Structure 1
Amino acid sequence: MNKSKPKHSAHGLVLGIFLPWIVWWGMAEIPNLVWAGEETSVEAVRKAFEQGQYPKVIELAEPLLKKGNASAPQVQQWYVLALAHTSKTSEALDAYERLVQDNGREDEVLLKQMAIASILPLRADMREQMRGAAYTALREMEAIEAMPYLEEGLGDQSGMIRALVTEGMGHVAAGRQSKRFRDALKDGAALVRANVLEGMAESGDKKMIPIITPFLTDDQLIVQISAAKALLGLGQSQYWERLERGVRSEDGYERGASIRALGDLGDPRAVAILEQTIKDSQPSIRAAAVSALGKLQTPSALKAVKGAMFDHIPAVR
């Protein structure tokens, strides 16, 4: 019986000396293991986001955000955008507000990205009016970030959608420089071609003149007017007569397009021409004339506009 005691004592001694050290080293490694696990989880969220797997991003990010780990700001951003991409706009806004509270400041870049992400799913809607609303919203942003998504709209089956897209792209340098934007000069829809021509003129690049000039003889009058307007905007004053002729045209579309072009160009010479159209028999022409005169911002233009304040058509007033 006595002989076994040393054995047990030695065993206890070993455990007593080494066990605390084993436990200590094990505990010391736990934070590293936890951090490695966290890092792996964050990496998984990143990969899912980059691959466009937005439902998976939401699934992976929520547990991390509840923990409030060190990578939370980055994960929060992916989470906000993933919610927006999956049409959960209300939840995305709530998540964004929490991020702002945590950071103590607004994130304008993220807010813009979130707005774009919320719009994108609507581009695939079967209803033309919903796609139109989506592209109109992207167009109104006039942001470089929206250009790749607008460019995709050039392939939409609806001419109205393509016209919205080209109008938006024409107002932004990155849009005007797009090859697909310039290729839209071959589009079958007249309004699309017209918008591209006017967009080219906004660049102020006189190298566009030989590209625009052939469209003065386009088979659609609205395209001819846009070509003349674009060339005038690039300093080719000889095409003023084309717009004057358009204002006198019997075709309502040509008259309206010519009147709007004169207003957009902002040349005071247009006042005398537009004064003749403010009493046109067509309400749409009178409304276009009033709008064009308002853009000229001269005393004589204002006097002409005042004369239309009592027009019997509400749209004109």
Structure 2
Amino acid sequence: MHQPLRALRASGSMIVGKSLFAKTGLLSIRGIPVGFLLIAFSGALPVAAAAPPPKSTPTAIEREAMALYQASEFNRVIDLLQQVPAGQEPGREVIRYGLLSQLKLGKPEEAWKLYPKLVTANHPDETALLRDIARGFILSRVRDPQEHIRIAAYTALAEMGEGETLPLLEDGLLDSSALVRARAAEAIGRAGLAERSAALKRALRDEAPGVRIAAINALSDAKVAGITDQLTEIARVDEGPESIFAFAGLYKLGRTDVLIDIFSAVTLPDPEVRMAALGVLGRLRRPTSLSILSQAVYDPHPAVRAFAAGSLGEFGSVEGIAPLTHALGDENPRVRAIALSSLGRLGVADTRSVIQPLLRDADEHVRISAVEALLRLGDASAVLNAADLARHPDPSVRGDVAHALAVATAPNALPILELLLRDQQPLPRLMAARALGKSPLKSLVPALKIGLQDSDAAVRITSAGSLIHVLSRKEKARSR
């Protein structure tokens, strides 16, 4: 396989519509990562812990805990909490200071153990504190020795999109893993920090093609000035997918003349270049591209046909229904699955009649895509099909079910996601945690709090990221 596209696939940069590859939740669904800058850190990673509210008549031990906390004597606060005699209640404010001290020391798991003692059945969740704990689960893992844990952490940071995380994200651009660098780069773009990050421009020279492509996407999406010459050079020198993204970047920066170069790439012999061109055209959504995308579902290479189907969903025009309906009969199950997802994204209720027969497809992943498409179209009965597939012996199938249920609006989808969150295998649990963060359903916080107790660090990180999403949505809804 062409080396640039291997990196491109590894970074998740070319997945359009439903993921064409393994949906572990650690890869990008749209766009590509970006960034690079050395920020030195020492000691524990910072956590923006909320200061505890003052109490009118604090006890002696509460006054001591408060004084120690304010003096940054966090270990002594924890010692004070642990010295309380067995059977004696230390008081809620002492527990609070102990919890906040654990966060300051970069120990969110220990802080989480104290949270149920602070927020008992008689007290509602403290949203600010719960968010700080969730952030701690993510921030404390950005330098974990295991690559997949760091990827999970930077994936969560990317989806959080918080401006104050820029130093951490730029630090991630120095990681030994190209996947981590790519995720850190994507996060800079998602957070709207591309223009502020000088490291992002330097990422255009990263040794990994996937990271360079991520930098191109993030910088050009933000229309950052001063990169035109670099993009022109990449487009001129590189003969693979990287050149296609450089042309796309130039187009976003105002060079409309390069659109013809992207159109021409769809007919080149290299299928990987054709895939890159189709993905770019789907995102650019130029009216003149629709006929090219429609024709590409007839390409001799199945991966190219799959990209064409995904790009039609990304394009979002009802004129894509006809070629997508043709793709439902493709001999390759991946093409059928992507075509189903794209039809669901188009949101045309009349397409249910061509989607429903694929609930009986021989391939389980195609059946799941049919479930997802029907759920997107408001067909709540598809949840019953999801419940049946959630009992499949293959954990990748169960994980795909969780992914599909992220779009469900029927309340009976929540028990299935909660069941998958308790799956014996980590993949379905991780996908369920991720789906809960995207779900429009209500009462998601209790399930995600369970996810924070998972035995797998990646699941805990993903649950924390989803919890932040859910809490933010609740706050926005209350402020309206």
In which range does the TM-score fall when normalised by the shorter chain? 0.7 to 0.9
Instruction: Determine the C-alpha separation between the residues in 1 that align with 2:284 and 2:311.
Output: 9
Contact 1:45–1:57 (Cα < 8 Å) also in 2: yes
| Cα 1:153/1:67, change in 2 over 3 Å | same
Contact 2:65–2:94 (Cα < 8 Å) also in 1: no
Q: CA deviation at 1:199?
A: 0.6
After superposition, where does 1:304-315 map in structure 2 within 5 Å?
304-315=323-334
Mark the structure with the bigger radius of gyration.
1
Could you tell me which of 306, 328, 341 is aligned with 1:287? 306
Aligned-partner residue type, residue 262 of structure 1: L
After superposition, where does 1:1-317 map in structure 2 within 5 Å?
35=60, 38-48=62-72, 58-61=78-81, 66-68=89-91, 71-72=93-94, 75=97, 78-79=100-101, 81=103, 85-86=106-107, 88=109, 92-93=111-112, 95-100=114-119, 105-205=124-224, 208-210=227-229, 212-219=231-238, 221-317=240-336
Unaligned runs of 5+ in 2: 1-56, 337-480
Q: CA deviation at 1:139?
A: 1.6
Contact 2:108–2:133 (Cα < 8 Å) also in 1: no
Q: Which has the higher helix share?
A: 1
Q: CA deviation at 1:175?
A: 4.8
Aligned-partner residue type, residue 194 of structure 1: I
Aligned-partner residue type, residue 91 of structure 2: G
| Cα 1:149/1:238, change in 2 over 3 Å | same
| Cα 1:281/1:38, change in 2 over 3 Å | same
Q: CA deviation at 1:33?
A: 11
Instruction: Determine the C-alpha separation between the residues in 1 that align with 2:250 and 2:58.
Output: 68
| Cα 1:82/1:280, change in 2 over 3 Å | same
User: Normalising by the residue count of structure 1, what TM-score does the alignment of the two structures yield?
Assistant: 0.74
Q: CA deviation at 1:56?
A: 5.8
- Correspondence for 2:344: none
- Matched residue SS, 1:311: coil
Q: CA deviation at 1:260?
A: 0.8
Paired residues in the alignment total 277
User: Normalising by the residue count of structure 2, what TM-score does the alignment of the two structures yield?
Assistant: 0.51
Q: CA deviation at 1:214?
A: 3.4
Give me the identity figure in percent: 28
Q: CA deviation at 1:197?
A: 1.4
Q: CA deviation at 1:151?
A: 2.0
Unaligned runs of 5+ in 1: 1-31
Structure of higher RCO (CA pairs closer than 8 Å, 6+ residues apart): 2
Contact 2:195–2:224 (Cα < 8 Å) also in 1: no
List structure 1 runs of 4+ shifted beyond 6 angstroms.
none
Q: CA deviation at 1:188?
A: 0.9
Contact 1:139–1:164 (Cα < 8 Å) also in 2: yes
Contact 1:80–1:114 (Cα < 8 Å) also in 2: no
Q: CA deviation at 1:204?
A: 3.5
